[in-house]
C-alpha cells in the first residue's frame, strides 16, 4: 500500500505501533483520511484481520464511505469489520446477544419522535400534570440520566420534583420493556451494561477487537467513552481522532473533556498533531483561526496551508431574509455559469427554520437544490405511518405504533374508545392489541377489524417479499386512497413509492431477494478467517432497524446534482468548493439560547468555525436587517462573529459602517405586519409611563435596551427595542412590563 502522498505526521499516525494514540488536529488536516488509511494499512500489513477492527464514525454515511474506500484499496471482506455509528454498533451487539441483554429478539428502536410520543402517552395514562411535567422535560431528564449511565435506582433525587421525574423514568422504562422497544439512549446503555455485566461476552469482544478507532472523538459522550474503555480492556489498541474546536454537540451530552481524559486514562498514549490543512485557501483558513482564537480553554492548534490566498471572504447584509436568499441565488447562478458543480455549492444555516426562504428562492428560479437535516426521509409523516404498520405486523404488542395508526386513515375510532382500551390494557396488564378482545360494543368491533387487518397482513408477510409487503400495506390500509384524495398528497405518494424502492435496494444489498418478508434467514454478521458468525433475522427485522437508525442520520448524501442546503450541524466532516453561511445576526447565529447558557457562546463559535472550514475555495457570509422567523418580523443586529474575522481577509459588499438596522430610515416606516405606520415622535402613553424612541428601558428577561421604533396606541402599542443581550425584539408594551430607565 502506498502511503507516500501523506505528510510525515500523517504517516506516523497511520503506521504507529503505540497502543494509544490521539490525533488532535484542526479542520481539514486529514484526520478522517488518516483514520481510514490506518485501517487499510493495518490489514494490508497483516497486523489485524478485518474482523479485528471496530471503528466508530459519526454518521452511517461516513461508515459506508469508509468501507467502500477500504474495499477499493484492498478488496477484503469488509463485512467482518464493525464500522458504524455508536448507535449502529450497539444495535448490532444487542441483536447478537438479545437474550443476555434482556430484550426480545425482535426489539424495535424508538426514534426521537417515537420516544416523545411514548412519554406523552405515559403521562396521560398516569394523569400527570403536563404543566408541571412537560413531556419534553421528562424526555430530556430520562435521556440525560441514560447518557450518564444511570438507572432510576442509581439516582439520588434532590427535591420532590426530581423524585417524581425519577418515578416517571422508571414507569417509562417499564413501559418500553413491556413493549419490547428501545430508545436511542437505551441502545447505548444496554450495550454498555451488557459488556459490563457479562464477563464472557466482554472477554469475547475484547479478544476480538484488537484495534478500536474513533472519528470525531470530541463529540463522544461519557457513556460512549466508558463503553469504548470496556471494549478496549487492557490490551487493545485505541486510535482516536478529533478536534476540540469542533465540539458542537454538548447540548446532547457530548463531552469534549473526554479528550483530556483520554490523555489521563492512557498515560502512555501519545498525541499526534497535524498542522497542515489540505482543504482551504489561506483567507478562509486564517479567518477560521482568528475566529476560534476568541475561545478560551482550547487545547491549541495552528493550521497552515500551502494552497494560495484564494479570494477574500465576501460579506453582505441585505434588507430582509428574502433579499438575502435572492442574493445567494444570484451568486450561485453566476458560480454555476463559471463552471462550479451544483453539488459543490453548499448553503448552511444555524436553524432549520431558515431554510424556507432560501428554498423558496431556489425554487422560484428553478435551480436544483436538496435540503438535508430538516425532515429526513424516514421521519416524514407518511413514511412513519407505513413503518408503524410494519412494526405492528412484526410485533403486535408495540403500543406506540398501534396508537399511531389505529385511526389512520380514519376508522371512526375516537379518543374515548382508546382511553377505554388503555384502561383495559392497564388492568389486564397486556398490550393494547391484546386488550381489544376485552371490550364490547360498536367501537370494539372497529378495533377488532383493525387488529384483523394487521393479522391478515401478517399472514401475507409470510409469502410476500418485503417490497411487495410494503406495497400491500400502502394499499390495504387505505393509506394510498387517503393521499390520493388529499390536495397535496401527490408528493407523499411519491415518497411512499420511494419507500418501496428503498426496500428493494435494501433486500438486494442484504441478500433478501425473493425471500418472504418475515422468513428468518441466516445472515453473516462476522466473517473472520476460519470462523463465521451468523444470526437469524428476517428482512422485516433488519429493515425496521435500518429505518430507525437512518432516520437519526441527518447528514447529506453526495452525488445528487443539486445545490446542498443544510444546517451547520449536518455539514460536519464534509467539504465543498463554495460555502454560503446565512443568517449572521445576533440572536440567530450566535443563537439566542446560547447567550444565556454557560459555554453557550463558545459552542456557537465552534459551530461557526465548523461552518467556515467546510469551504475549499470560496466563502460567502450574509445577514439581513430584518427577518421573518417563526411568523414574526424582527429587526436584527449584526452577528459578533462577523466582527471577529480580521478585515484583511474580507471583502464587504455593503457598507460595513452601517452597523445596525435601526440606522436605516426605510425600516422606520414598516411595522412588523408589513403595513406602513407613521413614525411616532411624541411617544406612546401606556398606564402612567411615556415611551419614546431613543428611551432606554429594562425588560425582566432580556435586560436593558433602547426603543428604536413605536407603533399603535394604548393596548395595541408596540415597541421595537434593541436589547444588548438578544438583539432586536418587537414587544407589546401593555404586556411586556418595561421599566423606563
Ligand atoms: P474535519 O475536521 O473537517 O473532519 P479532517 O481533518 O477529517 O477534517 P479530511 O476530511 O480527512 O480532514 O481531509 C480534508 C481534505 O484534505 C480531504 O479532501 C483529503 O482528501 C485531503 N487531504 C488530507 N491529507 C492529504 C494529503 N496528505 N495530501 C493531499 N490531500 C490530503
Ligand atoms: Mg473528518
CA-CA distance, 702 to 118, in Å (whole number)? 35
Percent of the chain scoring above 90 in pLDDT? 53
Any idea which ligand is nearest the CA of 274?
Answer: 1
List CB contacts of 563: < 8 A, sequence separation 6 or more: 332, 342, 343, 345, 346, 347, 362, 367, 368, 369, 370
Q: Whose CA is nearest to atom 21 of ligand 1?
A: 278
- Label the pairing between strands 20-25 and 237-242: parallel
CA 524 to chain centroid: 30
Any idea which ligand is nearest the CA of 25?
Answer: 1
Coil, helix or strand at residue 613: coil
| 694 assigned ligand-binding residue | no
Q: For 617-670, how does the pLDDT look when each residue is reduced to its tens digit (9 = 90+)?
A: 999 999 999 887 666 677 888 999 999 999 999 999 988 875 443 333 333 333
Q: Average pLDDT of 144-152?
A: 93
CA-CA distance, 433 to 431, in Å (whole number)? 5
Is residue 529 predicted with pLDDT exceeding 60?
no
Whether residue 706 contacts residue 729, with contact meaning beta carbons closer than 8 Å, is answered with no
Of all atoms in ligand 1, which is nearest to the CA of residue 29? 6
| 28 assigned ligand-binding residue | yes
60 C-alpha to center of ligand 2: Å?
A: 14
Q: For 89-111, how does the pLDDT look when each residue is reduced to its tens digit (9 = 90+)?
A: 999 999 999 999 999 888 888 88
Whether residue 83 contacts residue 67, with contact meaning beta carbons closer than 8 Å, is answered with yes
Q: What is the CA radius of gyration of the chain?
A: 28
Which structural domains are found in the chain, ordered by start?
Answer: 8-99+189-276 (3.40.50.300), 108-179 (1.10.10.160), 313-376+556-652 (3.40.50.300), 378-510 (1.10.486.10), 686-740 (2.40.10)
Q: Whose CA is nearest to atom 19 of ligand 1?
A: 30
Helix ranges (DSSP H) in 45-85: 60-74
| 33 assigned ligand-binding residue | no
278 C-alpha to center of ligand 1: Å?
A: 6
Q: For 350-398, how does the pLDDT look when each residue is reduced to its tens digit (9 = 90+)?
A: 987 788 788 888 878 888 888 775 555 676 788 889 999 999 999 999 9
223 C-alpha to center of ligand 2: Å?
A: 22
Whether residue 275 contacts residue 29, with contact meaning beta carbons closer than 8 Å, is answered with yes
Is residue 304 predicted with pLDDT exceeding 60?
yes
Q: Whose CA is nearest to atom 2 of ligand 1?
A: 27
Question: What residues are annotated to the active site?
Answer: 31-32, 215-216, 246, 614
Any idea which ligand is nearest the CA of 29?
Answer: 1
CA-CA distance, 645 to 313, in Å (whole number)? 10
Helix ranges (DSSP H) in 107-183: 112-125, 135-147, 160-179
Peptide bond into 240 cis (omega under 30): no
Q: 438 is written with which cell numbers? A: 376485552
Half-sphere exposure of 538 (CA within 13 A, CB side): 23
Of all atoms in ligand 1, which is nearest to the CA of residue 27? 2
275 C-alpha to center of ligand 2: Å?
A: 14
How high is the pLDDT of residue 612? 98
Confidence of residue 532 (pLDDT cuts 50, 70, 90): low
For a pocket test of ligand 1, which of 30, 272, 568 has the largest count of ligand atoms closer than 8 A to its C-beta?
A: 30
Higher pLDDT, 335 or 556: 335
| 530 assigned ligand-binding residue | no
Which residues form ligand 1's pocket by a CB distance below 6 Å? 5-7, 10, 25, 27-33, 243, 246, 278-279, 573, 575, 613
Phi/psi of residue 583, nearest 5 degrees? 75, 40
215 C-alpha to center of ligand 2: Å?
A: 7
| 25 assigned ligand-binding residue | yes
Q: Whose CA is nearest to atom 16 of ligand 1?
A: 278
Coil, helix or strand at residue 280: coil
CA-CA distance, 673 to 675, in Å (whole number)? 5
Q: HEC profile for 461-494? A: CCCCEHHHHHHHHHHHCCHHHHHHCCCCHHHHHH
Amino acid at each position: 500500500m502506498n502511503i507516500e502522498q501523506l505528510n510525515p505526521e500523517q504517516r506516523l499516525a497511520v503506521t504507529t505501533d503505540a497502543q494509544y494514540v490521539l490525533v488532535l488536529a484542526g479542520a481539514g488536516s486529514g484526520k478522517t483520511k488518516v483514520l481510514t488509511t490506518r485501517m487499510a494499512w493495518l490489514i494490508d500489513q497483516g497486523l489485524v484481520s478485518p474482523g479485528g477492527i471496530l471503528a466508530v464514525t459519526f454518521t452511517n454515511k461516513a461508515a459506508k464511505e469508509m468501507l467502500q474506500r477500504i474495499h477499493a484499496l484492498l478488496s477484503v471482506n469488509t463485512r467482518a469489520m464493525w464500522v458504524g455509528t455508536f448507535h449502529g454498533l450497539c444495535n448490532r451487539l444487542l441483536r447478537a446477544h438479545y437474550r443476555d441483554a434482556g430484550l426480545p429478539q425482535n426489539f424495535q428502536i424508538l426514534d426521537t419522535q417515537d420516544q416523545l410520543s411514548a412519554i406523552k402517552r405515559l403521562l396521560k395514562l398516569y394523569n400527570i400534570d403536563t404543566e408541571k411535567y412537560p413531556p419534553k422535560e421528562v424526555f430530556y431528564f430520562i435521556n440525560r440520566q441514560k447518557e450518564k449511565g444511570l438507572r432510576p435506582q442509581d439516582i439520588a433525587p434532590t427535591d420532590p420534583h426530581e423524585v417524581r421525574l425519577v418515578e416517571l423514568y422508571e414507569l417509562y422504562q417499564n413501559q418500553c420493556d413491556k413493549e419490547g422497544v428501545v430508545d436511542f439512549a437505551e441502545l447505548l446503555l444496554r450495550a454498555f451494561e451488557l459488556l459490563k455485566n457479562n464477563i464472557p461476552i466482554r472477554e469475547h469482544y475484547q479478544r476480538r477487537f484488537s484495534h478500536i478507532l474513533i472519528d470525531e472523538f470530541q463529540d463522544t459522550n461519557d457513556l460512549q467513552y466508558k463503553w469504548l474503555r470496556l471494549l478496549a480492556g487492557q490490551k487493545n489498541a485505541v486510535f482516536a481522532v478529533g478536534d476540540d474546536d469542533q465540539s458542537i454537540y454538548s447540548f446532547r451530552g457530548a463531552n469534549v473533556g473526554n479528550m483530556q481524559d483520554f490523555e489521563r486514562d492512557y498515560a502512555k498514549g501519545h498525541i499526534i498533531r497535524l498542522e497542515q490543512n489540505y482543504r482551504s485557501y489561506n483567507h478562509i483558513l486564517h479567518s477560521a483561526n482568528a475566529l476560534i482564537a476568541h475561545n478560551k480553554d482550547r487545547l491549541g492548534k495552528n493550521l497552515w496551508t500551502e494552497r494560495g490566498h484564494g479570494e477574500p471572504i465576501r460579506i453582505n447584509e441585505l434588507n430582509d431574509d428574502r433579499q438575502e436568499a435572492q442574493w445567494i441565488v444570484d451568486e450561485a447562478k453566476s458560480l454555476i455559469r463559471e463552471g462550479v458543480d451544483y453539488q459543490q455549492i453548499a448553503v448552511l444555516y444555524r436553524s432549520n427554520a431558515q431554510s424556507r426562504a432560501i428554498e423558496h428562492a431556489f425554487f422560484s428560479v428553478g435551480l436544483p437544490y436538496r435540503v438535508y437535516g430538516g425532515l429526513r426521509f424516514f421521519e416524514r409523516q407518511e413514511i412513519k405511518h407505513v413503518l408503524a404498520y410494519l412494526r405492528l405486523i412484526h410485533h403486535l404488542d408495540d403500543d406506540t405504533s398501534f396508537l399511531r395508526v389505529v385511526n389512520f386513515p380514519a376508522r371512526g375510532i375516537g379518543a374515548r374508545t382508546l382511553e377505554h382500551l388503555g384502561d383495559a390494557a392497564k388492568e389486564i396488564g397486556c398490550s393494547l392489541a391484546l386488550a381489544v378482545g376485552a371490550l364490547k360494543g360498536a367501537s370494539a368491533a372497529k378495533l377488532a377489524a383493525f387488529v384483523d387487518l394487521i393479522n391478515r397482513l401478517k399472514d401475507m408477510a409470510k409469502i410476500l417479499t418485503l417490497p411487495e409487503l410494503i406495497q400491500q400495506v400502502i394499499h390495504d390500509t387505505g393509506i394510498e386512497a387517503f393521499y390520493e384524495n388529499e390536495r397535496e398528497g401527490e408528493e407523499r405518494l411519491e415518497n411512499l413509492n420511494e419507500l418501496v424502492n428503498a426496500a428493494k435496494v435494501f433486500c438486494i444489498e442484504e441478500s433478501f431477494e425473493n425471500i418472504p418478508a418475515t422468513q428468518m434467514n441466516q445472515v453473516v454478521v462476522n466473517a473472520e478467517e476460519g470462523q463465521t458468525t451468523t444470526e437469524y433475522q428476517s428482512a422485516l427485522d433488519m429493515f425496521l432497524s435500518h429505518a430507525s437508525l437512518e432516520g437519526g442520520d441527518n447528514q447529506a448524501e453526495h452525488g445528487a446534482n443539486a445545490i446542498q442546503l443544510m444546517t451547520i450541524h449536518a455539514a460536519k466532516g464534509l467539504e465543498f468548493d463554495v460555502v454560503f453561511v446565512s443568517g449572521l445576526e445576533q440572536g440567530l447565529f450566535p443563537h439566542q439560547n446560547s447567550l444565556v447558557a454557560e459555554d453557550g457562546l463558545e459552542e456557537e463559535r465552534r459551530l461557526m468555525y465548523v461552518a467556515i472550514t467546510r469551504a475549499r475555495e470560496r466563502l460567502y457570509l450574509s445577514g439581513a436587517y430584518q427577518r421573518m422567523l417563526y411568523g414574526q418580523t424582527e429587526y436584527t443586529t449584526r452577528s459578533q462573529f462577523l466582527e471577529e474575522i480580521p478585515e484583511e481577509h474580507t471583502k464587504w459588499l455593503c457598507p460595513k459602517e452601517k452597523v445596525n438596522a435601526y440606522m436605516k430610515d426605510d425600516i422606520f416606516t414598516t411595522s412588523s405586519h408589513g403595513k406602513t405606520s407613521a413614525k411616532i415622535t411624541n411617544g406612546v402613553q401606556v398606564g402612567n409611563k411615556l415611551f419614546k424612541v431613543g428611551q432606554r428601558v429594562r425588560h425582566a428577561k432580556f435586560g436593558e435596551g433602547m426603543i428604536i421604533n413605536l407603533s399603535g396606541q394604548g393596548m395595541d402599542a408596540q415597541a421595537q427595542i434593541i436589547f444588548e443581550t438578544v438583539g432586536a425584539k418587537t414587544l407589546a408594551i401593555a404586556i411586556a412590563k418595561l421599566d423606563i430607565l
